[in-house]
Structure 1
Amino acid sequence: MPATTFLPAVLPAGVTLRPLRHDDGPALAAAYTRNRAHLEPWEPVRPPAFYDAERQADLVATELGAHEAGRSVPLILERAGAIVGRVNLSDVVRGAFCNAHLGYWVDGALAGRGVMTAAVEAACAHARDDLGLHRVQAATLLHNAASQTVLARTGFDRIGTAPSYLRIAGRWQDHALFQRILHDD
């Protein structure tokens, strides 16, 4: 299925949720560099090149290719011209599954201000209304209470635990699994 267009959404704290653009590489590199310590406990170990503008430009091109193929929806949180987070619907599967994985992060300076709750709600509405998906799933580290709060506030249900699910912060870690059913039929 071809890509759909996500219309920008205004979120709390003067943040806008918008589609990823071809020229976002340098701003993403700056955002990841600025938030490196904030994100390191929650993400895979990143090589130094990950924080370079050129590497981020390459990753943007790859993500936009997946979007054009209908496999993902890469979104950016932006405030006053600076990137302050990401929301991604990835691994979009059609057919009997009609599912996507949800991933997200927000700038440490904006954590706890309702920004991510509003962004996840907007992404799920897009998944339901524009992509026609039935389900969105997410996973968090067992001790990531903030992320689990966002999921609970946006209608996700915890459905289990996955032992050694992802290699985060240099080691295989257990994750709590969540889903949100978008359609009742």
Structure 2
Amino acid sequence: MPFESVLTDDVTDVTDVTLRELTKDDAVAIAHAYARNREHLAPWDPARPEEFYTEEWHKERLWAQVLENSTGRALHTVLEADGEIVGRLNLTDIVRGAFQNGHVGYWLDARFTGRGLMTRAIEALAAHARDELGLHRLQAATLPHNEASQAVLTRLRFERIGFAPRYLKIDGRWQDHVLFQRILHD
């Protein structure tokens, strides 16, 4: 059964936001979301080629993420409001066996920040990861100066577990990250 959760926006009268699994039909809406949020996301994202912001780029590549969902290696989701993609929340690099771990990554449309939506989305994803996927641990990484993202993780009982120098190439350069984890079975 596909994963889906409705995230009520308690702050404003904006239509509810739905967190749901990515589908192959989302390519156009995702391209529009990234193009609309290009400046907003640039400081937090890897450098993107110009083609990344086109419908064609996403139509050619989205199937790989849908396939990862179907094989259990990942859970790629979108946040949707009124038929428009307004964010992504992904659980990737799922490792089974003794680890039972996944990595959490996310972004939210500039128009929807500050409402607690991503907090509710990650909480729904964490419950699904624990109850349906049987994961024991979630891990996330943020840039040291991304205080908003760190506040979301802290509210959700993620604990800081370390500092990784030059961890990811973000905005065109290797940047340090703060590492967080949440144990799901305590």
The match for 1:149 among 148, 151, 164 is: 151
Measure how far apart 1:164 and its partner are. Answer: 0.2
**Match for 1:161: what amino acid?**
F
2:36 aligned residue:
34
Partners of 2:35 and 2:88 in 1: CA distance: 14
Structure 1: any 5+ residue segments left out of the alignment?
none
Matched, 1:20 2:17: no
Task: Judge conservation of contact 2:7–2:117 (CA < 8 Å) in 1.
Answer: no
Q: Which amino acid aligns with 1:134?
A: H
SS of the residue 1:24 aligns to: helix
What is the CA-CA distance between 1:59 and the residue it aligns to?
2.5
The farther-off stretch of 23-32 and 9-18 is 9-18
3-state SS of paired residue (1:172) = strand
Q: Which residue of 1 aligns with 2:7?
A: 10
Q: CA RMSD in A?
A: 1.0
Paired residue secondary structure (1:68): helix
Q: Is residue 182 of structure 2 the alignment partner of residue 180 of structure 1?
A: yes
Name the structure 2 match of 1:97.
99
Alignment of 1:47 with 2:49, yes or no, is yes
TM-score, normalised relative to structure 1: 0.95
| 1:123 positional shift | 0.7
- Alignment identity in percent? 56
* Cα shift readout 1:87-132 (whole Å, capped 9, x = no counterpart): 0000001000000000000000111110100011011111001000
TM-score, normalising length from structure 2? 0.95
Pair 1:74 & 2:76 matched: yes
Residue 117 of structure 1 aligns with which residue? 119
- 8 A contact 1:22–1:61 mirrored in 2: yes
Given residue 54 of structure 1, which amino acid in structure 2 is its aligned partner? E
- Dislocated runs of 4+, deviation >4 Å: none
Tell whether the 8 Å contact from 1:11 to 1:17 is kept in structure 2 after alignment: no
Q: How far apart, CA to CA, are the structure 1 residues paired with 2:37 and 2:159? A: 28
Q: Is the 8 A contact 1:135 1:179 kept in 2?
A: yes
Q: Please say if residues 11 and 119 of structure 1, whose CA atoms lie closer than 8 Å, have aligned partners that are also in contact.
A: no
| 2:135 equivalent among 110, 133, 136 | 133
Paired positions, count:
181
Give the Å deviation of 1:11.
Answer: 3.5
Q: CA deviation at 1:9?
A: 2.6
SS in 1 for 2:63: helix
Q: 2:159·2:180 contact (CA, 8 Å) conserved in 1?
A: yes
